[in-house]
Amino acid sequence: MRHHTERSKGRALLVATVALLVIGTALAHLERAASGLDVQSLRIGSAPVTVFRQSASAGLAADGSAPVVLIAHGFAGSQQLMQPLATTLAHSGFTAVTFDFPGHGRNVAPMRGGLADTDASLRTLLASMQEMGDYAAQLAGSRGRYAVIGHSMASDIVVRHAQAHAEVEATVALSLFAPSINAQTPPDSPRNLLVIDGALEPGGMATEALRVLAPGEAAGAVARAFATTYGDFRQGTARRAFLSPGVEHIGVLYSSATLEATLDWLSEAFGRPMTGPAFIDERGLWLGLLIAGLVLLAWPLSLVLARFALGSGPAVSSTQDEVVSHRWIGWRGAAMLVIAPAVLTPLILWPVPTHFLPILLGDYLMVHCALYGVLTGIGLVLAGRLLRRPVSGRAPRSVLTRRVAVVFLATAYALLALGLPLDRYAFNLWPEPARLPLVLALLAGTLPWFLADEWLTRARGAPRGAYVASKLAFLVSLVLAIALDPQRLFFLVIIVPLILLLFVIHGLYSRWIAQSTGQPTIAAVANAVVFAWFIAVTFPLVS
């Protein structure tokens, strides 16, 4: 027994060492992206703004001689998502400017109109773009010319802005939709347009790119247009459509092909041909390794948490039932407990209005999670899984106190150890004070769901694959809700891949905690807080 314990400690120490080495290596490479750059943070109105330029030591004076590029993020995004573009351009002598749109990231000014009044939201976004464009023109000095880059939602915004401002020298639209371009649009409106889509995005994106490249012509007639430059940069009529290989809607921002194509296009537009190999901020691999290291580190930490939570003695549950069904089929099995909430929740909520929180789609997600959790909980009670009396009686007060502390520590690790690096290198995860009440409101939905789900999938004797099945069922439930009401819920499609990523990351985290402590509740609370936090800081504030 002692030999087994020593081996377990040895494995935990080895895993922790490997995890820390991976984390350190990933952080070193991620930090290297800003090496040699002058990075300045400021606010323009309510918008947080970051300016990336070569430092004076690199030989560039801040006198307006560098071409300026204004970079805009997409729906539910933030300026951190656009950092690979900003650092890549800055290393090549451009001045890159990123910012948060109203209601996004750390800009707490609401995006007026939301989805209910698209004209009002369009005016809000264009007004913000105008404010940022004025600043970009100021940075550009006497020439006053600058370029714009926009992703997804912002692709439409930057195209409209460039069409209205002749001083915009070039436009790069990622994952483009551009209703303002039609068959009557002049070939230089906007000037020098590059369209980049991910090759794994829906086919409609490529169709839209070809439509914009040759308005009024059949997409099939210009299929050869991909990766071919048409028009003339000097006349502002240059056009190109490009498919970034192997990436989807978010991955297109991190693709080296995207970064290289953007840099080449803007260098040509500003008459600055590349003279040698350029720095490309290929941070996708290092972000993946950072996340993997942080998740891996959670396993040895979960063992430490277990020892603290339980004191001496084996990690056994004091609240588990000694008889739990291992079956999938039957009224006491897990199949109905997984399928029924997934189907019933969107059907019940279909006619129910959910516009009561000042956060776009967050209120629907809160209600969806809450009802889903209640239905799952009812199923667990009817199946008898939460009605058994504890095997070993009530835990002593000291043990309960330690478990509360473990809940706090597990939640803190999930939020801080995982959240802070992602906030720095990937997307905003730090809430402004105005968003903190929304975290608590959303917790009213995520907590019932995760409590019921952890007891369904992590309790002793749960069928194999229960966690995967329940999470897939939840995603299917969201897709069904979108299909029932696409006009209201369409933008949920964008965050489904991110939710899937969180399920994978925090699924491992919760599994280790539940196995080590025998307490599904500990992992449930930690995950509920993380998901409430993620939704509250990611989705746009609206009025």
Q: Which pLDDT tens digit goes with each residue over 25-65?
A: 999 999 999 999 999 999 999 999 999 999 875 544 445 57
Cα separations (Å) of 25 from 29, 103, 286, 335, 505?
A: 6, 34, 8, 43, 20
For the chain, give every domain's residue range: 35-281, 327-538
Return all residues near 412 (Cβ < 8 A) that are at least 6 apart.
none
Q: What is the pLDDT of residue 5?
A: 59
Q: When comparing pLDDT for 85 and 520, which is higher?
A: 85
**pLDDT beyond 90 at 288:** yes
Cα separations (Å) of 509 from 178, 291, 522?
A: 41, 12, 11
Q: Which long-range contacts (CB under 8 A, 24 or more apart) does 321-324 make?
A: 321/385, 321/388, 321/391, 321/459, 321/460, 321/461, 322/388, 322/391, 323/388, 324/385, 324/459, 324/460, 324/461, 324/462
Lowest pLDDT segment from 95-109, 148-162, 376-390? 376-390
Give the model confidence (pLDDT) of 183-209 as tens digits.
899 999 999 999 999 999 988 888 898
Q: What is the pLDDT of residue 276?
A: 75
Q: What is the pLDDT of residue 398?
A: 64
Q: What is the pLDDT of residue 67?
A: 95
Q: What is the pLDDT of residue 186?
A: 93
pLDDT, mean of residues 103-117: 88
Q: What is the pLDDT of residue 392?
A: 46
> pLDDT > 70: what percent of the chain?
87
Helical ranges in 92-202 per DSSP H: 118-139, 153-164
Class of domain 35-281 (CATH, top level): alpha beta
pLDDT, mean of residues 266-286: 90
Query: Is-contact 469 340, C-beta < 8 A?
Result: no
Q: What is the pLDDT of residue 438?
A: 95
Give the model confidence (pLDDT) of 389-421 as tens digits.
444 455 566 667 777 888 888 888 888 888 899
> pLDDT > 90: what percent of the chain?
57
Q: What is the pLDDT of residue 371?
A: 97
Q: What is the pLDDT of residue 277?
A: 86
**Average confidence score pLDDT of the chain:** 86
Identify the band that residue 222 occupies on the pLDDT scale cut at 50, 70 and 90. Answer: very low
Per DSSP, the three-state class of 42 is strand
pLDDT, mean of residues 318-338: 59
Identify the band that residue 297 occupies on the pLDDT scale cut at 50, 70 and 90. Answer: very high
Q: Quick one: tokens of 145?
A: 């010319």
Q: What is the pLDDT of residue 58?
A: 53
**pLDDT beyond 90 at 213:** no
Query: Is-contact 267 273, C-beta < 8 A?
Result: yes
Q: What is the pLDDT of residue 156?
A: 97
Beta bridge partners of 148: 70, 171
**pLDDT beyond 60 at 2:** no
Q: What is the pLDDT of residue 332?
A: 58
Q: When comparing pLDDT for 533 and 494, which is higher?
A: 533
Beta bridge partners of 241: 195, 226
Cis peptide before 190 (omega within 30 of 0): yes
The C-alpha atoms of residue 383 and residue 302 are separated, in whole angstroms, by 30
pLDDT, mean of residues 372-386: 87
Q: What is the CA radius of gyration of the chain?
A: 26
Q: When comparing pLDDT for 152 and 397, which is higher?
A: 152
Identify the band that residue 445 occupies on the pLDDT scale cut at 50, 70 and 90. Answer: very high
In the numeric block, the tokens 């377990």 are attached to 8
